[in-house]
Chain A
Amino acid sequence: MIHRFQNIFFILFFIFGISTQIFGSEDVQEKKGVDVNAIVFEHIADNHSWHLWDVRDDDGIKHAVAFPLPIILVSTSPFAFDVFWSSEFHHGETPVTRGDNTYVLNHGTIYYAQNTQGDLEYDEQGEIISAKPIDISITKNVFTMLLVSGLMFWLFVAVAKAYKRRSGIAPRGVQGFMEPIILFVRDEIAIPNIGHKKYKIFLPYLLTAFFFIWFLNLIGLVPFFPGSANVTGNIATTAVLAMFTLIITNVYANKEYWRHVFAMPGMPAWLLPIMIIVEIISIFTKPFALAVRLFANITAGHIIVLSLVSLIFIFESLSVAPVSFLFVLFMDVLEVFVATLQAFIFTMLSALFIGMAVAEEH
């Protein structure tokens, strides 16, 4: 019997043997000239200015070609409302003074500085503990969300006008393109989950959520301006979208729903205290799952694509380019599918939760 396991033990020891070598050689990171982690996370994170590309001047110093965005900072005591272009920070090198406040941009976060030279407070470990103003700047993500909102507004006003002009005759152009998608959301997502009688109240929200998430996902896949902003891969954006679902579900919920939460029929009385806690927690975990699902899917896709492109820079050889290109092409096609699928799943689960909240008793 033992000789059956001998092969497995041999392989396991071999793997452990090699892995200790890998654990031992920790200086492999420093030998690489390219910090893949930094590149990947810089492209995924939000930014106060829109960085387009870098140029190296004759001295070999890298200068960034970037697109400044407005920075809006609010302080409460004393009250201050400062607006300025992000180019004044010079990518975090210079502090900006407005009135009594001096602001410093350090790794993507804006802090109050102690003096006009831009000194920050540090604690014993070297972490920054300076206070921060309320930062409501137009960052890359906000700019993209405004852009997509404008695009959606323009697109759907055009479709609505087309319906008015061409009522009764066959649709054409952008109206013809949007109609099957809108009907799909209505007939496959809204009506089956919410029912014939009440779906009209929620259909605007479901359509908006679907198209907003879909367009944001797609625009995040375009590698140049105005794309390349990772909006739905930002947990704040997806959390707010999930919060909309949470608010709508609980505001429109009828008595049946609340009865099921607080006094589930058919439940023995001694189980009720636990079940109430479980039910209340589940009211919050469902939208939380919505937010994390969308965020993780989109961010994971972007990380994979960026890492595959960085392969070329790690190996520093042009022959890796075709391999990397094919991988990236495959992953990008998959990401387009995931973009649409995640928008559909978000909308469908929102419709499901709303349907459960407004369901009539049968």
Chain B
Amino acid sequence: MDESTVMSIAGIGAAIAAIAAAIGIGKIGGAAMEAIARQPEAAGKIQTAMIIAAALIEGVALFAVVVALIG
């Protein structure tokens, strides 16, 4: 397998990780919006929890990107 094929397939792997992360964070964002709409006074706590969950998901997505880059 030559260099460009390997890089292209690594790119596809990283793109799949990006899709998965985007779906996950989108769901969290949507749920957070709904929760804030139901109870606006809890907006601060919900926002903090949303950011934490988003960062954890992004961590997993970046694992995949690192593997795609190095492997």
Interface of A is mostly: helix
Q: In the bound complex, how far is the Cα of B63 from the Cα of A340, in angstroms?
A: 20
Q: Cβ of B63 and Cβ of A296 under 8 Å apart?
A: yes
- A200 and B12 alpha carbons, distance in the complex (Å): 47
Complex contact A296–B4 (CB within 8 A): no
| Residue ID in chain B nearest A346 by CB atoms | B55
Does A296 lie within 8 Å of B2, measured CB to CB? no
Give the size range of B's interface with the partner: 10 to 19
Are A296 and B5 in touch, CB under 8 angstroms?
A: no
A297 to B58, CA, bound (A): 8
Out of A19, A26, A188, A295, which one reaches B2, CB within 8 Å? A26
Q: Would you call the interface of chain B mostly helix, strand, loop, or mixed? A: helix
Contact in complex: A296, B65 (CB < 8 Å): yes
Enumerate A15-68 residues with CB–CB distance to B below 8 Å: 19, 23, 26, 29
CB B39 to nearest CB in A, in angstroms, measures: 20
User: Which of A29, A296, A341, A348 has the most chain B CB atoms closer than 10 A to its own CB?
Assistant: A296
- Which chain A residue shows the least CB distance to B59? A293
> Does A342 have its Cβ within 8 Å of any Cβ on chain B?
yes
Q: How large is the interface on A (under 10, 10 to 19, 20 to 34, 35 or more residues)?
A: 10 to 19
Contacts of B58 in A (CB 8 A): 293, 297
CB < 8 Å A-B pair total: 39
B4 to A26, Cβ gap below 8 A? yes
Query: How far, in angstroms, from A295 to B63 measured CA to CA in the complex?
Result: 10
Query: B37: shortest Cβ distance to chain A, in Å?
Result: 24
Task: Tell me which residues across on chain B come within 8 A of A293, comparing CB atoms.
Answer: 55, 58-59, 62-63
A293 to B51, CA, bound (A): 15
Q: How far is the CB of B67 from chain A (nearest CB, A)?
A: 10
- Assuming the A-B contacts A23-B8, A188-B48, A348-B52, are A292 and B2 also in contact, with contact meaning beta carbons closer than 8 angstroms in the complex? no
Query: B38-71 toward A: CB 8 Å interface, digit per residue (1/0)?
Result: 0000000000100110011011001101100000
Nearest-Cβ distance from residue A288 to partner chain B, whole angstroms: 10
Tell me whether B62 and A292 are in contact (CB under 8 A). yes
CB distance from B70 to the nearest CB of A (A): 10
Contacting pair A342 B55 (CB below 8 A): yes
| Chain A residues in 8 Å Cβ range of B65 | 296, 300
A83 close to B (CB within 8 Å) = no
What residues on B are CB-neighbors of A296 within 8 Å? 59, 62-63, 65-66
Contact call A289/B59, Cβ cutoff below 8 A: yes
Q: Which residue of A lies closest to B51 (CB)?
A: A341
Nearest Cβ on chain B to A192's Cβ, whole angstroms: 10
Q: How far is the CA of A297 from the CA of B63 in the complex (A)?
A: 10
Instruction: Determine the chain A residues whose CB is within 8 A of the CB of B5 once the complex forms.
Output: 23
8 A Cβ contacts from A262-292 to B? 289, 292
Least distance between A29 CB and chain B CB atoms (Å): 8
CA distance A19 to B11 in the complex (A): 13
Kindly identify which residue among A292, A342, A348 contacts B66, using a CB–CB cutoff of 8 Å: A292
The answer to whether A345 has its CB under 8 Å from any CB of chain B is yes
Q: How far is the CA of A300 from the CA of B55 in the complex (A)?
A: 14
Binding site for B on A (CB under 8 A): 19, 23, 26, 29, 188, 289, 292-293, 295-297, 300, 341-342, 345, 348
What 6 pairs between A and B have smallest CB-CB spacing? A296-B62, A293-B59, A345-B55, A296-B66, A26-B4, A292-B63
Knowing that A23-B8, A289-B59, A341-B51 touch, tell me 4 more A-B residue pairs with CB under 8 angstroms. A19-B8, A188-B48, A296-B63, A345-B55
